[in-house]
Amino acid sequence: MRRAVRESVSGLPREFWWLWTSTLVNRLGAFVATFMALYLTLDRGYSASYAGLVASLHGLGGVVSSLGAGVMADRLGRRPTLLIAQTSTAVSVAVLGFMTGPAAIAAVAFVVGMASNASRPAVQAMMADIVRPEDRVRAFSLNYWAINLGFAVSSMAAGFIAEVSYRAGFLIEAGMTLVCALVVFAKLPESRPTAAARQEDADVSLVTVLRDGRYMAVVGLSFLVAVVFQQGSVGLPVAMGRAGFSPADYGLAIAVNGILIVALQLPVTRFIEHRDPRTLLVVSSVLAGYGFGLTAFAGSVGVFMLTVCVWTLAEIVNAPTQTSLVVRLSPVHGRGRYQGMFTLSWSAAALIAPLMSGAVIDRVGAEWLWGMCAAVGTVAGFGYGLLMRRLPPEHPAAAPATAPEQAPATAPEQTPEQADTGAKVPTAQTAGGTA
């Protein structure tokens, strides 16, 4: 066990561990996304449809900021983007805790969605910058492990905090997010490619990303999978609340998700690290869909926990595999934009999933929602099977794909389509300008 742990964490740069620490601190203070539906329906007395609307506005804020934050990460830098995003998140979350009217809650939730989602492209681009290609699956798994370690702890704690004061939860999250910004400010250097490599940044625009057919297909499939996984935080709490379960019951059930990821993410990653990503994504997509589908048969907290176990196994496999695939398909000097488009798929899912789940639960019942999850997971698995039939192998490099600003520039990675055709990274003439 000691050897397994050592091999899982060894060889990664110090900057990665500070970024990992920032992620962990952020998730230890997570509250709003997990308990917003319960806060609105149980504490404020609003309907499931209104709770879905607010969650969708939160997601819409993420949609708005995803692409802009990706461009910022490429142009302004990963570190400044993180500082702006995390500071804005801390302020807006604190303000949200004091809003009482339905219009004010909805408006501030939109701002929170914008601010909190803006850090994602920068975090993923920075991680790809500082970690060697052959270590990326492991690095993304460790980062995801930190997310869920914090989530497991915060879910259990926040469930009981909510019994006393929802506002305290908002203020705790604001404070922890501010701590993340301080970590980034004090410990993380900029990781963008060198000035010479950044000159090629003009060759990659948002139009370039949109014209990358295989990459956009991955984004579309990611959206379908994200819609399914979003039900753990939007459909599940509402359905459990309607069935008479308390916030603490939901906190215990959903905490199983974080606990299992903390326990299994590293050993499972060692098992899947060098396996066929096509098989992994097909299996994980179908398993996610049917894991949520089984929720239709749950009638006790224990059975809800069992269904969480099923779709959590899918999440453990899907998250690092898909994130590594996205980096693999992204050119070095356009990582921010490519990551922004990938983040957009999750933001769009955060917009659509609450509206869908709230409307379905209100009109036809939760059982139909879980059946739809099974169908969407099946479609996504079929799509990955078709898309990745000709995915070329990845050739690990001996050094990180990019270097800090003081280091020599490195050549950009090619996308699989470019590798297949021998084409160069698209130029400004073919990309239709910059974004």
Tell me the pLDDT tens digit for each residue of 150-167. Answer: 777 776 777 777 777 788
pLDDT at 374 over 90: yes
Q: Distance (Å, rounded) from C-alpha 79 to C-alpha 269?
A: 28
Number of domains in the chain: 1
Q: Distance (Å, rounded) from C-alpha 173 to C-alpha 89?
A: 9
Would 265 be classed as within a structural domain? yes
Q: What is the pLDDT of residue 4?
A: 59
pTM: 0.67
Would 401 be classed as within a structural domain? no
Q: Tell me the average pLDDT of the chain.
A: 78
> Bigger pLDDT: 279 or 205?
279
pLDDT at 246 over 50: yes
Would 103 be classed as within a structural domain? yes
> Bigger pLDDT: 366 or 160?
366
Q: What is the pLDDT of residue 410?
A: 39
Q: Distance (Å, rounded) from C-alpha 18 to C-alpha 123?
A: 11
Burial class (CB in 10 A: 0-12, 13-18, 19+), 9: middle
Q: Distance (Å, rounded) from C-alpha 388 to C-alpha 216?
A: 13
Q: What is the pLDDT of residue 292?
A: 93
Q: Which residue segment(s) compose the domain that 142 sits in? A: 15-389+411-418
Tell me the pLDDT tens digit for each residue of 312-356. Answer: 999 989 888 888 888 888 877 777 788 888 888 887 887 788 778
Burial class (CB in 10 A: 0-12, 13-18, 19+), 424: exposed
Tell me the pLDDT tens digit for each residue of 88-119. Answer: 999 999 998 888 888 898 899 899 888 888 88
Q: What is the pLDDT of residue 391?
A: 63
Q: How many CB atoms neighbour CB 12 within 10 A? A: 18
> Bigger pLDDT: 314 or 208?
314
Token duo for residue 202: 């003009």
Would 62 be classed as within a structural domain? yes
DSSP helix/strand/coil, 100? coil
Token duo for residue 260: 């299992």
- Sorting pLDDT into bands at 50, 70 and 90, what band is 250? confident
* Mean pLDDT (whole number) for 61-82: 84
User: How many residues can be counted in the chain?
Assistant: 435
Question: Of 156-160, 180-184, 339-343, 363-367, where does mean pLDDT reach its minimum?
Answer: 156-160
* Mean pLDDT (whole number) for 45-74: 81
Q: Where residue 260 sits, what CATH number does that domain have?
A: 1.20.1250.20
pLDDT at 24 over 70: yes
CA distances from 217 to 64, 156, 275, 286, 326 (A): 20, 37, 21, 17, 11
Would 430 be classed as within a structural domain? no
Q: Distance (Å, rounded) from C-alpha 283 to C-alpha 279?
A: 6
Q: Distance (Å, rounded) from C-alpha 222 to C-alpha 218?
A: 6
- Sorting pLDDT into bands at 50, 70 and 90, what band is 361? confident
Closest by CA position to 284, among listed 377, 210, 197, 196: 377
Provide the CA 75 distance to its chain's centre, in angstroms.
22
- For the chain, percent of residues with pLDDT exceeding 70: 83
Q: What is the pLDDT of residue 306?
A: 92
Question: Of 53-57, 136-140, 318-322, 398-402, where does mean pLDDT reach its minimum?
Answer: 398-402
Which DSSP symbol is given to 42? Answer: I
Q: Distance (Å, rounded) from C-alpha 132 to C-alpha 161?
A: 41
Q: What is the pLDDT of residue 399?
A: 41
Token duo for residue 271: 């098992």
DSSP helix/strand/coil, 424? coil
> Bigger pLDDT: 105 or 46?
105
Question: What burial letters (b/e) apply to 277-293, b meaning 16+ CB within 10 Å?
Answer: bbebbbbbbbbbbbbbb
Would 427 be classed as within a structural domain? no
Burial class (CB in 10 A: 0-12, 13-18, 19+), 80: middle
Would 396 be classed as within a structural domain? no
- Sorting pLDDT into bands at 50, 70 and 90, what band is 289? very high
- For 93-219, list the strands marked E by DSSP: none
Q: Do residues 252 and 156 make contact, with C-beta atoms less than 8 angstroms apart?
A: yes
Tell me the pLDDT tens digit for each residue of 401-417. Answer: 444 444 333 334 444 34
Token duo for residue 251: 């906190």
* Mean pLDDT (whole number) for 57-68: 81
Would 119 be classed as within a structural domain? yes
Amino acid at 292: F
